[in-house]
Chains A and B, each alone.
Chain A
């Protein structure tokens, strides 16, 4: 029986800096439930596979994610409308929604599985995407990706590609991967360096 981790999304505002949270939460609300009505019941359950180091074995967990819109609205009064705009966006917008949702979900696992780690910056061009230590020449962070479909198999392929690049870079002292699939709801959280 996999251990269950519960997380209330509004807790992110306590675990991470407001400005790193407020733009990702509407995307999580828009992306996680998906378009099928039957998949919209809380808590949203993700099968989570975690590896604490490159040599350790995979630990299987269940992430049960839920949220209270009223509680989220305290931090962002427009959260409901923003999530709605993101849900109804066109194809070009949906890519950004997936990207942001994966960032938000990565913030959840960082907060839950790497307690005490506070996000310091985000990157667009140079992995890893999320940095919790920006020390020049020895950054530490989490590389993130989101996929709509494909499950663990698709995520494993992404992990393979991303691991090689991160492991070989001198300027990266510590790196994790946080990969998410919307359907089925599965996620990988893998330490790839050191």
Chain B
């Protein structure tokens, strides 16, 4: 990393901020506000990259970068992202002198406080969401009420990826796959480094997007597996299994692609924290090997992989791939804000 990299990243951040402001000046419809939010999130990442390029930055320099990143989230209508950075900023209260801290965060604070008040008020007004505290209640009436509230929140805070994830979950639950896909793509544009969104996008693409588009999406993700966590490999493999179901004539091609994805995941160093993931990868490997050998996969492969706890409550009609998919589809990434609201 060099000073040139620092300068380059800050130049990029500056251009993105200007572009976002121009979009907001030209229109205030949802699409404009969302596009501006995406650019401001990109700008925040560029600011962070610029700081990483500085050898041994001072506390004051780090604080300055965090303030700038946080302001990008504030103007990018992402109260959750801004709040996470606000926490990091407050750590510098005791590292730089009080006056410097107040002068450097003086412009940010009122803007942040205003956004936080708007967010708190909007959440307090989302009565169904607060009553259920889940994104998709099982009761259809409650599900629709929560879905409408989350969509309303996403309209007011279009830079909040967690809300677009919620919109995605709602539309997925009611079977509107196009709207579900658009929503998860919005979440991914805001947080392209969030591999959980990518994982679910892979599964959704494999199951519900046009086959050619899904193939391209999975192939594109496969190309990036070297740089992605093992969990993404698992979802690519499961995605290939789904595609094999949709293109039976080319099933072997997809099973082989799935097996390659599993091997990519298993080849990465594992530790205790990802032991469970390793079990899922191993189960998927056994499943694909059985399919390629022309055998009918049984629940035994889940036991063999150490996932017996998933099998014990299943019915005799379920297939191991259904169990894997169901187990991996229940987690709502990054929704702690809802449980805490």
Contacts and interface: CB of A to CB of B under 8 A. Distances in A.
B14 A97 contact: no
Interface in A101-146: 103, 119-127, 131, 134-137
Contacts, number: 118
B210 interface: no
Contacts of B310: none
Interface in A148-188: 165, 168-171
Given A20-B15, A136-B61, A171-B61, A127 B22 contact: no
Contact of A126 (B11, B21, B68): B68
A90 B107 CA distance: 24
Contact of B18 (A20, A82, A92, A97): A20
B27 interface: yes
Contacts of B245: none
A120 B4 CA distance: 12
Interface in B108-146: 108, 111
A92 to B, nearest CB: 5
B14 A122 contact: yes
B67 A126 contact: yes
B18 A24 contact: yes
B100 A170 contact: yes
A99 interface: yes
A23 to B, nearest CB: 4
A26 interface: yes
A171 B27 CA distance: 36
A93 B68 contact: no
Contact of A20 (B14, B28, B50, B71): B14
Contacts of B61: 136-137, 171
A43 interface: no
Interface stretch (B52-60, B270-278, B288-296, B299-307): B52-60
A24 B17 CA distance: 12
A86 interface: yes
B156 interface: no
A44 B189 CA distance: 42
Contacts of B57: 136-137
Given A23-B18, A131-B14, A134-B7, A125 B107 contact: yes
B14 A120 contact: yes
Interface-central residue, B24, B74, B99, by most chain A CB under 10 Å: B24
A93 B237 CA distance: 46
Contacts of A90: 28
Contact of B104 (A93, A97, A121, A169): A169
Contacts of B17: 122-124
B10 interface: yes
| Size bracket, chain B contacts | 35 or more
B25 A134 contact: no
B14 A170 contact: no
B103 A27 contact: no
Main secondary structure of the interface of B (DSSP, over half): helix
Contacts of A26: 22, 25-26
A6 interface: no
Contacts of B10: 120-121, 131, 134
A27 B19 CA distance: 12
B68 A136 contact: no
Contacts of B68: 123-126
Contacts of A168: 99-100, 103
A124 B71 contact: yes
Contacts of B27: 85, 89, 93
Given A27-B22, A100-B21, A100-B25, A125 B108 contact: yes
Interface string B159-173: 000000000000000
A82 to B, nearest CB: 6
Contact of A125 (B11, B28, B58, B72): B72
B75 interface: yes
A19 interface: yes
A82 B60 CA distance: 39
Nearest to B73: A125
Contacts of A125: 67-72, 74, 107-108, 111
Contacts of B204: none
8 contacts: A26-B25, A96-B21, A97-B25, A122-B15, A126-B71, A134-B6, A136-B6, A170-B60
Interface of B: 3, 6-7, 10-11, 13-15, 17-19, 21-22, 24-28, 50, 54, 57-58, 60-61, 64, 67-72, 74-75, 99-100, 103-104, 106-108, 111
The 6 closest A-B pairs by CB, nearest first: A125-B71, A121-B14, A23-B22, A122-B14, A96-B25, A121-B10
Given A19-B18, A122-B14, A137-B58, 14 more contacts: A23-B18, A27-B22, A89-B27, A89-B28, A93-B24, A96-B21, A100-B21, A119-B14, A120-B11, A121-B13, A126-B67, A136-B6, A169-B100, A169-B104
